[in-house]
Amino acid sequence: MRKFEDNLNLERREFIRLLAIGATGIFLSACGIDPDKNSTDTDQNEKPKPKKDSVPLSENKTDEPLISNENVTFIKKGDLQYEELRHGHNKRFNKFPAIIALCENEKGVVHAINYAKKNNLPVAVKSGGHSLEGLSANDGGMVINLSKFKTIEYLENDQINLGPASTLAELYATLLPEGKILPGGSCGGVAVAGLSLGGGYGMYARKWGLTCDHLLEVTMVDGKGNLVNSKDDPELLWACRGGGSGNFGVITSMKFQTHKAPATMTSHRFRKFKTSAEDAADLMSKWFDLTKDLPHSCFSVFIVSSKTCFILFTNFEKETEEVKNIVEQFSALTEKVSLGKPQKLESAVQNFYGVQTPVYAKNSSVGLYKDFEELRSFIIPTIEKIQNTPGMLLSIGTLGGKIDDAEFEKGSAFPHRKFHYLSELQTYWKKEEQGEKMINAYQEVRDIFQNNGIKREYFNYPDLGFKNWETAYYGENYSRLQQVKKKYDPENLIRHEQSIKLPS
């Protein structure tokens, strides 16, 4: 793992690597904690405490023995693999499930769900373990681990069948040499299930749409223990296109439509150092102006940190005069310019795979925007706080393009297509004892956004502290998603802190 600087500043080079803004969200996604309990307070000898809507474990016991078979291995505390499997990507979390069900196939998932039902164990689902708020883990319940579901199978008509734990790095390594692409994020370690169920945003989205827009079919074990397929229910497919993860069942396979991949990608990088908050805000405003009508083949992200203002600009096609003009203007506005050359896409994507080893982090969405005016009144004090907090950065990426497609909007639960920009507040630290200070700093900045009317958020960049998260993540689609929840998980067996609730 690349080392963090002692003063908590990430190297500038690392900011580019951390740009894995695509998956379950980002380059990151970790296991979560009880929202009422600090993760660093959990003693490894302490018995798991029941969640507010689960039955205490002492009351959950039945006469049914916990028996592993060729389809699933049940792992409990003290077993050899328990410590390895209970952790996610974010070291901030420290959850202790009662049982980890390491499934080999669909029969194993069915068996695990049925055991959880009989024992009243809440179920969390883990494919890649990159949930930013630990939504793929729990305390005192069952975690269904899908890490062995890594199928990548070619089908007819440029379609593929994927196991939910297939990572983007594995997917791109398979598809790109064949001249095909499934638009996804840029973090190589993120699994395709969590990414696409929450939407699936990345540098390819303006060209082709979100990952979920290319989802054709899902196979799932629902909360009743039934194996179901979305071919029999278009409403299930709609819900799985951006309706969030860990809600309706355990996805065991996903069919996607792939597309012809571009031959190359060109990446340009622009930096400005030691700017005042006012100058950084002015540069951000100009970036908004230059990116509001980008060609669909282009993507850009603006990052402000304690040291640097950084702009990434990518393009999948030949550079037209319009694109050259944008590059020239970015060059004139910044101090250090690194102009790239067309690079074979197969190798270019690897430059953005990000950190794959566990980290301490607190990251979340801080809103979707239509233009800079939504930020203008409060962005300067926000930038000041970020510049005074080494280890913190604010990134804003471009939406629009094919994302805002009427057919995609109609066919998916993703509600944010009319917004032009998506932001993320990222906070990293090196040592566990630095966590409280960094989380407090994060909270101060996040509150600025919420207190200034920023209300819509991206589910793949969650925060357990979001007010009215149901509307923030899902807008007017939430009540419709509740009906899907009622149909497939009427007892709310599969749940986390921000899963879709049953209708009242």
Q: Which of the 8 DSSP states describes residue 352?
A: G
pLDDT at residue 2 tops 80: no
Is residue 290 located within the same domain as residue 254?
no
Is residue 276 located within the same domain as residue 360?
yes
Q: What is the pLDDT of residue 218?
A: 99
Mean per-residue pLDDT of the chain: 89
CA distance 95 to 497: 13
Is residue 230 located within the same domain as residue 281?
no
Q: What is the pLDDT of residue 347?
A: 93
- The reply to whether 79 falls in a domain is no
Domains in the chain, number = 2
- The reply to whether 43 falls in a domain is no
52: its two tokens? 């507010």
CA distance 382 to 281: 10
- The reply to whether 441 falls in a domain is yes
**Domain encompassing residue 419:** 12-22+264-471
173: its two tokens? 């390594």
Which one has a higher pLDDT value, 107 or 21? 107
Give the model confidence (pLDDT) of 320-337 as tens digits. Answer: 999 999 999 999 999 999
- The reply to whether 101 falls in a domain is no
pLDDT band at 289 (very low <50, low <70, confident <90, very high): very high
pLDDT at residue 137 tops 90: yes
Strands (DSSP E) contained in 306-402 are 308-315, 336-338, 343-344, 360-369, 392-398
pLDDT band at 470 (very low <50, low <70, confident <90, very high): very high
CATH number of residue 219's parent domain? 3.30.465.10
Q: What is the pLDDT of residue 63?
A: 54
Cβ(23)–Cβ(130) below 8 Å: yes
- The reply to whether 42 falls in a domain is no
Q: What is the pLDDT of residue 65?
A: 81
Annotate 112-152 with DSSP letters as a single string: HHHHHHHTT--EEEESS---TTBTT--SSSEEEE-TT---E
The phi and psi torsions of 371 (rounded to 5 degrees) equal: -165, 175
Q: What is the pLDDT of residue 356?
A: 72
Give the model confidence (pLDDT) of 160-194 as tens digits. Answer: 999 999 999 999 999 999 999 999 999 999 999 99
CB within 8 Å of 196: residues ≥ 6 apart: 184, 210, 211, 212, 215, 240, 241, 254, 256
Is residue 327 located within the same domain as residue 280?
yes
Is residue 240 located within the same domain as residue 386?
no
Q: How far is CA 113 from CA 31, 103, 216, 224, 249, in A?
A: 21, 11, 25, 8, 9
64: its two tokens? 């049914």
- The reply to whether 130 falls in a domain is no
Is residue 303 located within the same domain as residue 419?
yes
Q: What is the pLDDT of residue 353?
A: 85
Is residue 191 located within the same domain as residue 311?
no
Tell me which H or E stretch contains 73: strand 72-75
pLDDT band at 84 (very low <50, low <70, confident <90, very high): very high
Residue for token pair 């080893």:
357
pLDDT band at 357 (very low <50, low <70, confident <90, very high): confident
pLDDT band at 216 (very low <50, low <70, confident <90, very high): very high
Is residue 231 located within the same domain as residue 337?
no
187: its two tokens? 């973090």
Tell me which H or E stretch contains 166: none
CA distance 87 to 59: 26
pLDDT at residue 12 tops 70: no
Alpha helices in 87-224 (DSSP H): 106-118, 168-175, 192-198, 205-208
**Pairing label, strands 215-222, 180-181:** unpaired
Annotate 243-261 with DSSP letters as a single string: S-SSSSEEEEEEEEE-EEP
Give the model confidence (pLDDT) of 374-406 as tens digits. Answer: 999 999 999 999 999 999 999 999 999 999 999
Q: What share of the chain is helix, strand, coil (3-state, %, to 5)?
A: 30, 20, 45
CATH number of residue 439's parent domain? 3.40.462.20
Is residue 354 located within the same domain as residue 208?
no
Give the model confidence (pLDDT) of 25-81 as tens digits. Answer: 333 333 222 222 232 233 333 333 333 333 333 344 545 789 999 999 999 999 999
Is residue 279 located within the same domain as residue 211?
no
Q: What is the pLDDT of residue 354?
A: 75
Is residue 467 located within the same domain as residue 369?
yes
- The reply to whether 243 falls in a domain is yes
Is residue 171 located within the same domain as residue 305?
no
pLDDT band at 355 (very low <50, low <70, confident <90, very high): low
88: its two tokens? 């996610």
- The reply to whether 424 falls in a domain is yes
